[in-house]
Chain A
Amino acid sequence: MFCRWPSGHHFVAMLIVMIYVSSGCSQKELTELTDRVKTATVDKIEEIKPAIPMAPKTGQFRLTIDAPLETQVAQISLLQIGDGRRNVLQLRSYKELGKDSGPAVFFQAAVSADSVGSLVGQSVSGKMFVRGTAGGKLWSSVDEAPVTLTIEAIDGEELVGSVTSGTLVGTTGATTAVSGSFRAIISKTPGSESALVIRDPASLTAGNATGGTQR
């Protein structure tokens, strides 16, 4: 029973039940007592709740490439261009376009789905770039062998999925398998992202790459 250390209100409830059992009572009394304890515990938690600020969800990647890689942000959006071409599923580990720092993940795939929700239970193949933790090494999937993700579920505002299969190639030619999971915040309004237009390509040099938005 205690092979796993219980946590939170379950622990409090079990402690009370154990004390009661050891004093020797009937099954009915035991059930009533358990229910009362449950209620009391929930009430207690409700009382405490405002005192604990709930951190906003930011999503997360937990990948294994040549070394484990974890990011504190993951967001996913489905971009609909609306001129008859395929839609684009974009998954990334940073909030502002053009502004990743440290370990970073970028995945993009052309899809026919027109909502993120309709992708649940499906696999999506696309191009993945990763900037790893070890010396900021860059990895990319090759055109001929895309990385496949499985979209597993929607949990509130998060989309949960895993990297099902894929191989990444480093800029020196080294290869590594990629696997892992992610919980990505579903970005509903991609058009409102702040770095929509990068006005100064010069600011995007070296580690931040070059680029910018040009129409």
Chain B
Amino acid sequence: MKTNRFVLFAWLLSSAPVTLVLGTLALATLASATVLLADATDRVPGGVVNAHGTAAEASAIYAQAVAAEKQLQEFVTQAETGVLSEQQMSKGAMLGEQVVWQARTLNDYYEPAANDLALRAVYSQWRIRNEIELFLQTPRGAQFYQRLTANLDSPKAVKQRAAALEQIIKLVQKKEFESAENMLGKTYANLWPDAGYLWPAARIPLFKPFQEAEGIIRNEMGQRRQAKARAALAEKAKLWTAQRDTLNSTVAEAISQMQASGKVTLGAQPLVGPEALSQLFDRWGAVHHSLVQFAMAQYAITEGDQAPLTLEADRMATMMEKCATEFLVADATRADAEAAKSNYVRYLQVISDTANKVNRWRNSDIFNDAFAKLASRAGMKTPVESYALATDEMMRWRQRYALEKRRTIEEEFPSLETQFKSKLLSSGENLGLFALQQEFPLPLLNHSAYKVIPNLVTQMMKLKVSANDVVRLDGETPRWMIRYHDGIYGRLPAQIKLESGAAGLMNDLIVDADHPPLTLRATAAIRSLERGEFDVVGGEIVGVEMSSFATRFITMPAVGAALVARDDLPASSTDQRGLPRGHGLDSVLVQFSIQPRWVAHRYFVSPVASN
């Protein structure tokens, strides 16, 4: 079983009397020794990181914990601006313990939200305890304390506690741990509203009789929950491998159908090559999405090596590359000239749209030979070769010019990734996301989010930056994002309107409504323009949001799959800087919202229209 920093402080927290004996000192120690994850944004700095819910039970506990923590926060806020009533202090003390308890449970389910909730609760407990201690120093408080201890020490109360303990021990002996845990939880929930007022010397004896049973229950239930999470992970593995196997056989069958008849039946109707290929590419996208979800769940739960899974992503890309080539060659072998001609143009569109999602297909010549064969079949050899002569050199000059222009502009808009890493490097007062000696390539919460979030906002908001790879998410309403890379991804406004560039590119590539581009390179140039997929975007940061790295990808909806290249995984172990193993629960990612000022298409750079 992996070690987890949470375990240490959860134990400290769970042993409530000990925690409060340590008082302020404990808080300081814990805050620096543990990691807090927060789905905080510049607008909602108090947001709680989402649960991934790989084990379904975790989601319900998470919802309860978030609700309790929200109420707790309200008490803390009230305490900072006014005073709390005795009732509120009682409830606050109880809620603090409840959230800590639930956080530990979530930790057993390998939920990164656990760390976030626990440290928030620790802070709230400390804050409410301060209020209680101030209250106890008043005459009214002193009287209240006397009444309270008299009640707790009354024969009736002592008897009730003894009865509860006896029942818990019986349940433990019968190995009915879930019932025992429920009983223990209820008993503590009844005790804490009063126990929260007690000085440590009085509190320790109150809880001590329960400690042995509590230890056994927690250990047993912890193991069960971890086992459930691992079983849920195994189910995810089955799901993804079944989808992979189905894709493998579907692709093999589709290739043989193409070779035999030039048509492929994937649903009810036989489809021509390009349409079948388009559907197969979509299915591949769905399987890759499942792989990403499984891989990241594995990363959170076992912190396992991502290398074998990255190879799977790569293998699928190879298979689909072969599939596309076989389709082109099949049509080049058997299609009549007219069909070959219409298929040729459609294949260009289908392959170029997907090529933008696959790292090693972009700017690649791998399909050249197959396209040349199909062009010959279509009687288009000469037009295609002449078109290439008429456009390749133009694109080369355009790309060269765009690249140099972009580099000039980037002096004013430096790389987001570089800025992020330098400005969020922890040193002195700057509590960042990268430690000086940190070999792990992704950002980690090494300090409390209460410190990091404001710092992230201060350091990054309004900064002028440039970021690579604008991708379009093809949902019901299309959205444009910056592809995930090294702990960062980005959000862009709904539609980026260019001031210039589009008409000129169409003109230079001799394209109009009746004359589509005839090479893959030119098609990619035009399609990326139409889809708003740019190489680089530059602008100002207008929003930040921090999430758990694993949770964000485990819960990523299918439409977000384009954020990860098809031949890669978010925690790719093929990263040259070393394997990003470990930190499944404490690595974070930051989403930056960017107000774009300019974009760099591969073949031109344009300002973004202001409205």
Contact = CB atoms under 8 A, between A and B. Distances in A.
A201 B387 contact: no
Interface in A117-164: 127, 129, 138, 140, 142-144
Interface in A55-80: 79-80
A192 to B, nearest CB: 11
Contacts of A190: 386, 389
Nearest to A212: B365
Nearest to A110: B510
A83 B383 contact: yes
B389 to A, nearest CB: 5
Interface string B514-558: 110011110010000000000000000000000000000000000
Interface stretch (B127-135, B401-409, B425-433): B401-409
Contact of A82 (B386, B503, B524): B386
Contacts of A110: 507, 510
A39 B392 CA distance: 54
B159 interface: no
B514 A86 contact: no
Interface string A171-215: 110000000000000000011010011110100100001111111
B501 A106 contact: no
A144 B521 CA distance: 24
Contacts of A88: 390, 510
Given A79-B386, A190-B389, A209 B400 contact: yes
Given A88-B510, A197-B368, A215-B371, A106 B393 contact: yes
Interface residues of B, number: 48
A204 B393 CA distance: 12
B405 A196 contact: no
Nearest to B382: A82
A210 B503 contact: no
B442 interface: no
B358 to A, nearest CB: 14
Interface stretch (A8-16, A23-31, A41-49, A90-98): A90-98
Nearest to A98: B396
A162 B395 CA distance: 25
B365 A210 contact: no
A4 interface: no
Contacts of B382: 82, 191
A172 B408 contact: yes
B504 A213 contact: no
Contacts of A84: 514-515
Given A83-B515, A210-B399, A215 B404 contact: no
Which among B383, B396, B518 has the greatest number of chain A C-beta atoms within 10 A?
B396
A199 B392 CA distance: 12
Given A90-B393, A143-B500, A213-B519, A81 B383 contact: yes
A59 B282 CA distance: 52
Interface in B371-425: 371-372, 375, 380, 382-390, 392-397, 399-401, 403-405, 407-408
Contacts of B501: 143
Contacts of B386: 79-82, 190-191
B212 interface: no
Contacts of A97: 389, 392-393
A196 to B, nearest CB: 7
A191 B389 contact: yes
Given A209-B400, A210-B363, A81 B510 contact: yes
B439 interface: no
Nearest to B384: A215
A99 B96 CA distance: 71
Nearest to B404: A171
Given A171-B401, A209-B403, A210-B399, A215 B388 contact: yes
B368 A215 contact: yes
Contacts of A215: 367-368, 371-372, 375, 384, 388, 518-521
B153 interface: no
B508 interface: yes
Nearest to A80: B386
A132 B585 CA distance: 55
21 contacts: A81-B387, A81-B510, A83-B518, A85-B512, A85-B515, A90-B389, A92-B393, A97-B393, A106-B393, A110-B510, A140-B401, A142-B500, A171-B404, A191-B385, A191-B386, A209-B400, A212-B363, A213-B519, A213-B521, A214-B367, A215-B518
Interface of B: 363-365, 367-368, 371-372, 375, 380, 382-390, 392-397, 399-401, 403-405, 407-408, 500-501, 503-505, 507-508, 510, 512, 514-515, 518-521, 524
Given A213-B388, A215-B518, 15 more contacts: A81-B386, A82-B382, A90-B390, A106-B393, A129-B397, A140-B401, A191-B382, A196-B385, A198-B392, A199-B365, A201-B364, A212-B365, A212-B392, A214-B364, A214-B365
Kindly list the 6 A-B residue pairs having the minimum CB-CB distance in the complex, ordered from nearest: A143-B504, A209-B400, A211-B396, A214-B521, A88-B390, A85-B515
Interface of A: 79-86, 88, 90, 92, 97-98, 106, 108, 110, 127, 129, 138, 140, 142-144, 171-172, 190-191, 193, 196-199, 201, 204, 209-215
